[in-house]
Amino acid sequence: MTYENLDRKLVNSLLGDGRASLRSLAEELDVSVTTVSNHLSDLEDQGIIRGYTPKVDYDKLGYDVTAILQLKVEGTALEDVTADLKEHRQMVSVYEVTGDHDIIAIGKFEDTDDMNDEIKTLLNDPGITESNTSVVLNPAKEHEQFDLDLE
């Protein structure tokens, strides 16, 4: 029974099957169920594992349009604009970034009319000084996580 890299191995196992039972994880990692449970609790308490959710294919649910919004924001409005974007349920990612733009947001929409309505609502914010929107033609890779390297 070895605990070397146990937390990373546990995370990797959960990335493969987030619904795995404590017993199956313990068998896979060759440790006790109590050890898995304790390490899992620690990872959750530290915020490393923030929850267990299904991977949803939004395209199959009718959200066929993915848009990437690049926004320039008035310097003092960055925090407010970011907070506002986070509240829009169809924004799946919001990033404060360096470079030519201040914020990049990615949204999922039912169609271009839905996208257009949402973007027009967002652009009413006086803190946004410039925007550029790109529509994704083909998501080659999306919402993927990666296994952790073992030390």
User: What one-character DSSP code corresponds to residue 135?
Assistant: E
Q: CB within 8 A of 111, min separation 6: which ones?
A: 64, 65
| Closest of 83, 146, 135, 139 to residue 111, by C-alpha | 135
Q: CB within 8 A of 115, min separation 6: which ones?
A: 65, 67, 107, 109, 133, 135
The first and second tokens of residue 91, run together, are 């924004």
pTM, two decimal places: 0.81
Domain ranges of the chain: 6-45, 58-135
The mean pLDDT value of the chain amounts to 93
Contact criterion met (CB below 8 Å) for 6 and 36: no
Q: For residue 2, what pLDDT is reported?
A: 61
- Which residue bears the tokens 């449970």? 37
Q: Tell me: the pLDDT tens digits for 68-94?
A: 999 999 989 999 999 999 999 999 999
Q: Tell me: the pLDDT tens digits for 17-48?
A: 999 999 999 999 999 999 999 999 999 999 99
Q: Which residues pair with 14 in a beta bridge?
A: none
Contact criterion met (CB below 8 Å) for 1 and 39: no
What class has domain 58-135?
A: alpha beta
Contact criterion met (CB below 8 Å) for 23 and 40: no
The first and second tokens of residue 59, run together, are 């395209």
- The fold adopted by the segment(s) 6-45 is Arc Repressor Mutant, subunit A (1.10.10)
On the question of pLDDT at 1 being above 60, the answer is no
Which of helix, strand or coil describes residue 103?
strand
